[in-house]
Amino acid sequence: MVKHSQKSIGDHPLRPESQMMTYGYEPALSVGALKCPIYQTSTFVFESAEAGKAFFEVAYGLRERGPTEEKGLIYSRLNNPDLEVLEDRLSLWDNADGAAVFESGMAAISTTLLAFSRPGDVIIHSEPLYGGTEYLITHFLRQMGIDRVGFPAGTPTASFEASVRKKVANRRVAAIFIETPANPTNALVDIASTAEMARMFTTNEERPPVIVDNTFLGPLWQHPLKAGADLVVYSATKFIGGHSDVIAGAVLGSCQWILPVRTLRTFLGTMAGPWTGWLLLRSLETLKMRMTAQMKNARYVADYLVDHPKVSAVHYLGHMTENNPMFSVYRNQCSAPGSVISFDVHGGEPEAFRFLNALQLVSLAVSLGGTESLAEHPATMTHADISAEDQLRLGIRPSMIRLSVGVEHYSDIIADLTQAFEKV
């Protein structure tokens, strides 16, 4: 039987999908239960006062954990078996030292940014960003005295490096936060050259972390830590959860960078609960097959869209060609084009709305990465907070529709799109 922390059979390394049912869980500790039970408890009983004291010494960093010493369970805001097993399994996909799971993607992002920011700092970030992240940086963090400097996704780092440097001036950079591919345009940011850029902002031997929101392609088709990033964040609500029935988030990285995030999570109380942890454990077992089926479906849908007379443009990574300046970035950091496609219809908002209102199989809803196909209108929904002028600068037009392709039969999705186009 595969033991709970075994990563290989002899010298045959096990792939993450083979470990999603067993890794990090020891049945003997749970009366032999095959599956990890839901540990719906706020607190844990210590065997002795001495054991409780030892657990707290390690938890508060008063001393290092001994080589054979297990991390003690104390209280569910600090740790809980469902979260610990989930964090161990999530770490396998990105080959991370550690992970921290949160009650939402925004809890993961806000806790991470707050962990590295101080008043007077600047956050450098790619544009466009997920609407919630954009709001957090523009409205809340600015109020805390933390400024922002944005740069456009979809262009090589060398083209904006100098202007970013000038805008930062001599202020401390808290973090470089990028989203690639960007939502909803699928524009890419070069992770490796962003990591190079981070070195330019080293002050007092302190380098800002490069944080990548990997929600769109991860954890299967893009591995930012391997490409040079320090932390990867997820809205686990999307592909990781995958069934549109849970809100959750995660952050992964090396010990050095994940530790401050985990510590602040304890004090902000943004951790996920055991029920969320259990749902995500269940989802992880089918992650690879869901994302693979969705990715294959999306190729059929994108190829159909590109030939449709009512479509003026399709934004799909699988259609990128060698003459695109970001083509080598795609080749270097992505292993598949994923399953979120944006496209423009001829016309504007009225035509886009007629199309959306006519869909029958595909639901009209925001979010993405679930088993069902979803469509939405970025300009008036997910990206409504961005001014019309900035929307156009970032390529978010009133004619744009974002489609998250699910696991239905691709010919059924295409039949639905076909009848909806007839109403436009």
Least distance in Å: CB of 28 to ligand PLP? 34
What x/- string results for residues 228 through 267 when contact with ligand PLP is judged by CB under 6 A?
A: -------x-xx--------x-x------------------
Structure tokens belonging to residue 224: 């930012």
Contacts of 5 (CB under 8 A, 6+ apart): 23, 24, 88
Contacts of 146 (CB under 8 A, 6+ apart): 117, 118, 119, 120, 121, 122, 123, 137, 174
Least distance in Å: CB of 249 to ligand PLP? 5
Single out the catalytic residue among 23, 25, 39, 130.
Answer: 130
Closer to ligand PLP by Cβ: residue 80 or 270: 270
In the list 127, 213, 351, 376, the residue contacting ligand PLP (rule: CB under 6 A) is: 213
User: Contact, 189 vs 126, CB < 8 A?
Assistant: yes
- Distance between CA atoms of 163 and 259, rounded to whole angstroms? 32
Cβ-proximal residue to ligand PLP, closest one: 105
Closer to ligand PLP by Cβ: residue 336 or 358: 336
130 classed as catalytic: yes
Least distance in Å: CB of 283 to ligand PLP? 13
Structure tokens belonging to residue 302: 């994108």
Instruction: Please report, as residue ranges, which positions from 286 to 315 form the binding site for ligand PLP (by CB under 6 A).
Output: none
Residue pointed to by tokens 């800002």: 208
Burial class (CB within 10 angstroms; exposed 0-12, middle 13-18, buried 19+) of 158 = exposed
65 classed as catalytic: no
What x/- string results for residues 93 through 132 when contact with ligand PLP is judged by CB under 6 A?
A: -----------xxx-----------------------x-x
Closer to ligand PLP by Cβ: residue 22 or 183: 183
- Distance between CA atoms of 262 and 328, rounded to whole angstroms? 35
Query: Strand runs (DSSP E) across 128-165, as ranges?
Result: 147-152
Single out the catalytic residue among 39, 89, 190, 238.
Answer: 238
Contacts of 277 (CB under 8 A, 6+ apart): 80, 82, 83, 85, 86, 101
Single out the catalytic residue among 65, 77, 207, 288.
Answer: 77
Instruction: Please report, as residue ranges, which positions from 161 to 190 form the binding site for ligand PLP (by CB under 6 A).
Output: 179, 183
Residue pointed to by tokens 């996704």: 153
- Distance between CA atoms of 140 and 145, rounded to whole angstroms? 9
Residue pointed to by tokens 């780092």: 157
Distance from CA of residue 63 to its chain's centroid? 33
In the list 215, 270, 297, 373, the residue contacting ligand PLP (rule: CB under 6 A) is: 215
Least distance in Å: CB of 44 to ligand PLP? 28
Closer to ligand PLP by Cβ: residue 249 or 338: 249
Residue 169 phi, psi dihedral angles, 5° rounding: 55, -130
77 classed as catalytic: yes
167 classed as catalytic: no
Q: Which residues sit at the interface with ligand PLP, rule CB under 6 A?
A: 104-106, 130, 132-133, 179, 183, 213, 215, 235, 237-238, 247, 249
Residues serving a catalytic function are 77, 130, 213, 238
